[in-house]
Structure 1
Amino acid sequence: MSATRRQVLARSGALGAGIAFTGALSELFAGTAAAHGKAGYGPLVPDPAGLLDLPKGFRYKVLSREGGDLRSGEGKVPSNHDGMAAFRGKHGGVHLVRNHENRVTGRIGVPTVKGLTYDPMAKGGCTTLALDRRNNVVGERVAIAGTAVNCAGGPTPWGTWLTCEETEDKAGTNGYTKDHGFIFEVDPVDPHRTGAVPLTAMGRFQHEAIAVDPRRGVVYETEDAFLKPFGLFYRFLPEKPEGGRGSLRAGGRLQAMRVPGVPDLSAVQETGACFEGVEWVDVPDPLAAQTPIRLQDFGPKGITHAQKLEGCYWGGSSVYFVSSFAHSAEGSAATHFGQIWRYDPSRRRLTLVIVFGPSTDIQLPGESPDNICLAPSGGLMVCEDGGGAQYVYGLTRGGEIYPMARGRQNIGTPEEPEWGEFAGVTFSPDHDTMYVNCYTPGTTFAVTGPWHK
């Protein structure tokens, strides 16, 4: 999490808040195994090595740390580990694709590699790790370089990763030689098969995450615009909805969501609130040549905005997306500490499924849900993006919260400790391993244990 985010959270009084949940959680977990009995896996056990606290019976392996040598010999492991996904490899192995949210100023940028570099002046990108069935690292290499502020993204049904640039900087800004704010496709097995080609038809804006409707081929996109006017929720209708590696280069139509009568999603506070007849409006200029998309003219009815649109995933027959927080002092219609929304494309229906809010127990994990994924035992795993101690926490189908992991790497001082946020939580295809990143110092963990308890 950037210093800017921390400063805003501190001003809003959100730092150190606990979490309470309200909502129709059963909607989130269609098709997943149901978890019964006591929530969670027990209390966290302090890690003697001072890296990662986990419940008893769980263990971690450090797969990669910033500053180490890439096994490919291409350079050092870059900084700022962010979004990530796991793909099935040969003989029970796994391919991990990992984003690096590097800006112009950063500790260790992604090394430039011929055929995989978009803008040599940009320091972001992705790396891939090849793991055997025991989570031993057998390969680590650059997957794409020369991109900027690669925050999150999402997997495709055809086995590639879409990495998202969370910036709108154009050529000539901050030393960049090309426009930024695009989505790029990354092949986790052989990155040269996808190269470094921006998917321009999918829009140029502050991208956060994507989710693909596997039946219709529609790609949903979130925009993490931190300051007002806030971001939009998009869908991309590809020319080749059947998908496949490289298919998104063929172009398509980018549209933004309009909820009639709701210009700002933060104004909706009651879980279960449902809106029928959601409209999708063509984006006037997807490349934002002169005007950022969220500022463009969508007609007299306007368009629907939301602060801090972040995580996005497909579940069952719907797409779910996260608004990490909203604060009226920053221009939102109302304040909340996190929302999860569900959009059902068959019914054109939008539902507020979960509202996060402060609780009185400051020992609970913090605020601001960010990256999320479905857990093997049913429920969610959530990376928090707030202040104070940093957790990966679980959310059961019944709405109970439990801590799953706590970061122990102090990046502050003994007098004023600070911990790097978690990001990129994902599970192996066989659901036996949780992979998660610590953003700073960049560290990738593999966590194994009794997930199916």
Structure 2
Amino acid sequence: MSENTTVGRTTRRQLLARTGALGVSIAFAGNLTELFAGTAAAQNLGHTGYGPLVPDPDGLLDLPEGFSYRVLSREGDRLRSGEGPVPSNHDGMTALPGRGGRVHLVRNHENRADGRVPVPTVPGLTYDPAGKGGCTALTLDRHGHVLSERVAIAGTAVNCAGGPTPWGTWLTCEETEDRAGTNGYTKDHGFIFEVDPANPYASGAVPLTAMGRFQHEAIAVDPRRGVVYETEDAFEKPFGLFYRFLPHQPHGGLGTLRAGGRLQAMRVPGVPDLSSIQEPGASFGNIEWVDVPDPLAARTPIRHQDFGPKGITHAQKLEGCYWGGRSVYFVSSFAHSAEGSAADHYGQIWRYDPAARRLTLVIVFGPDTDVQLPGESPDNICLAPSGGLMVCEDGNGAQHVFGVTRHGEVYAMARNAQNLGTPEAPEWGEFAGVTFSPDGRTMYVNCYTPGTTFAVTGPWCT
């Protein structure tokens, strides 16, 4: 089948039965090739997985034969800096290159006001002492051993995802709109903060207010134009928006986003709700970007604000976001009409081409048997250097990291073996923050609960 042909549905249950990961029942429809357009990895996607998952005798992480993991960090253990315990709720993460082959991992902690293990407050790195969230940073040597682990920012709230910048920092996103005086907070929340994992004091704890105050999820930066794209995971109707931020200093470095810019929301003419689009390949030109009336949401949340007689385009559960080739891709994890969406789906991946001002529905996730089985609700997502995608699922039942090739072949890469329930009624925490080392030889991924950061090595296809 040619690379420009729309692929048919691939049944995860049928395919994963051959890899020993039964229990998954999701199909994909769409043009997988688009997800990898413009990437070197697109030429190297012939494999269909790495074989059956082997149960881990230590009960932590099941991987294919030949792969192994190392636990880099676990909630409740002591930070190597001595600042306090490793915080809980490990979420979004990135791996950035350091000097001498070192790798800097910067990791979000999605702690709310009642967070189990809060991020320790550190002078010079704390935004709001009442905030329990933030980021920690690990530095690894060229052999993957942990050299240091420290607080990178504290006093923030519900740090969900974010994204790396071209200049080697991390933008961490608060997934909340709580104001000062709510849940004990002393400052408003709902901002993006820049984090330098190599030197956290250089970035400090300064909210990037011009980038908006809303329930942020993830970001992706256009490396040529410097535009920052932002997703909003709003929990109630009207659902979130897809944004772009036009910085006043688009080609700067650490701290330049503080200079401000314009925040705009995407309007798809004639489409008030993205969930109403169900056919992979559906494409819309002349996408409009509308200035946000009040980015700080001083009185009204942005998604409730007046965008004029044409309105604005909403979508439920906007989450993962990444830049690939010449386009930005973003994920809608699901849409439920019973909760107010125009239609139901079990996951979409959209592609926006800035040069063409065109939005395309690339992939639709859909169940082919029992929707209660795992596999629905794609969340954090990244391009694998060996080709394809790695997707963290956030649904019911067993929790996996899945690989997806451009031909729609799906395989289980990892399964969480940490049972939070009982043998009779097992429960597993979701995966989050999947990312790869700069050399492509190590996959890093978090287990959200109990907070655990893994480094996975093995015979990655190259």
Normalised by the length of structure 1, the TM-score is 0.95
Does residue 19 (structure 1) correspond to residue 26 (structure 2)? The answer is yes
Out of 351, 354, 363, the residue aligned to residue 363 of structure 2 is 354
Q: 1:365, 1:393 within 8 Å by CA — same for their partners in 2? A: no
Q: Does 1:124 align with 2:133?
A: yes
Q: Which residue of 2 aligns with 1:32?
A: 40
Deviations 1:88-123 (A, max 9, x none): 122212100000000000210000000000000010
CA distance in 2, matches of 1:98, 1:324: 21
The one-letter amino acid paired with 2:33 is: S
Deviation readout 1:295-336 (Å, 9 max, x if unpaired):
000000000000000000000000000000001111000000
Letter in 1 for 2:252: G
Query: Counterparts of 1:347 and 1:364 in 2: how far apart (Å)?
Result: 39
**Partners in 1 of 2:93 and 2:45 — Cα distance?**
29
The residue type paired with residue 227 of structure 1 is: E
Q: Return the match for 1:207 from 199, 206, 216.
A: 216
Structure 1 counterpart of 2:73: 64
The equivalent residue for 1:288 is 297
C-alpha separation between the residues in 1 aligned to 2:172 and 2:320? 13
Deviation at 1:172, TM superposition (A): 0.3
Shift of 1:52: 0.3
- Alpha-carbon distance in structure 1 between the residues aligned to 2:36 and 2:137: 29
Q: List per-residue Cα deviations over 1:138-157 (Å, max 9, x = no partner).
A: 10000000000000000000
| 1:375 CA drift (Å) | 0.9
Q: 2:60 maps to which residue?
A: 51
**Residues 166, 362 of structure 1: CA spacing in aligned structure 2 closer, same or farther, 3 A cutoff?**
closer
Quote the offset at 1:129 in angstroms.
Answer: 0.3
Quote the Cα distance in structure 2 between the aligned partners of 1:362 and 1:124.
Answer: 33
Letter in 1 for 2:342: A
User: Counterpart in 1 of 2:314?
Assistant: 305
- Residues 363 and 38 (structure 1), Cα distance of their counterparts in 2 relative to 1, 3 Å cut: farther
What is the match of residue 7 of structure 2?
none
Return 5+ residue gaps in structure 1 as ranges.
1-15
Q: Go from structure 1 to structure 2 and tell me whether the alpha carbon gap of 1:38 and 1:240 turns closer, same or farther (over 3 Å shift).
A: closer
The number of residue pairs the alignment matches comes to 438
Question: Structure 1 stretch 157-166 or stretch 414-423: which is displaced more?
Answer: 414-423
For structure 2, the residue ranges without an aligned partner over 5 or more in a row are 1-22
Matches within 5 A, 1:26-425: 26-30=33-37, 31-33=39-41, 34-360=43-369, 365-425=374-434
State the distance in 1 between where 2:173 and 2:54 align.
Answer: 35
Query: Cα distance, 1:415 vs. partner?
Result: 2.1
Letter in 2 for 1:77: V
1:354-399 Cα offsets, whole Å, 9 max, x none, are 0000123789852100000001221100000101000000000101
Question: 1:201 Cα shift?
Answer: 0.2
Provide the C-alpha distance between the structure 2 equivalents of 1:306 and 1:73, rounded to a whole number of angstroms. 43
Question: By how many angstroms is 1:452 displaced?
Answer: 1.8
Structure 2 equivalent of residue 444 of structure 1: 453
CA contact (8 A) 1:35 1:396 kept: no
8 Å Cα contact 1:365/1:403 also seen in 2: no
Amino acid at match of 2:267: R
- Give per-residue Cα distances to partners, 1:37-65, cap 9 Å, x unaligned: 44011110110000000001100000000
On the 8 A contact 1:17/1:362 being kept in 2, the answer is no
Residue identity opposite 2:40 in structure 1? T
Give how far 1:17 is off. Answer: 6.3
Q: Distance in 1 between matches of 2:308 and 2:375?
A: 39
* Contact 1:376 1:451 (8 Å CA) reproduced: no
- SS of 1:53 mapped into structure 2: strand
- TM-superposed deviation, 1:411: 1.1
Cα RMSD, aligned residues only: 1.2
Q: State how far apart, in whole Å, the 1-side matches of 2:40 and 2:276 are.
A: 31
Aligned-residue sequence identity (percent) comes to 81
The answer to whether the 8 Å contact 1:72/1:139 transfers is yes
Structure 1 runs (4+) greater than 4 angstroms displaced = 361-365
Query: How far is the alpha carbon of 1:166 from its aligned partner?
Result: 0.1
Q: Is the 8 A contact 2:373 2:396 kept in 1?
A: no
The amino acid that maps onto 2:310 is K
Deviation at 1:231, TM superposition (A): 0.1
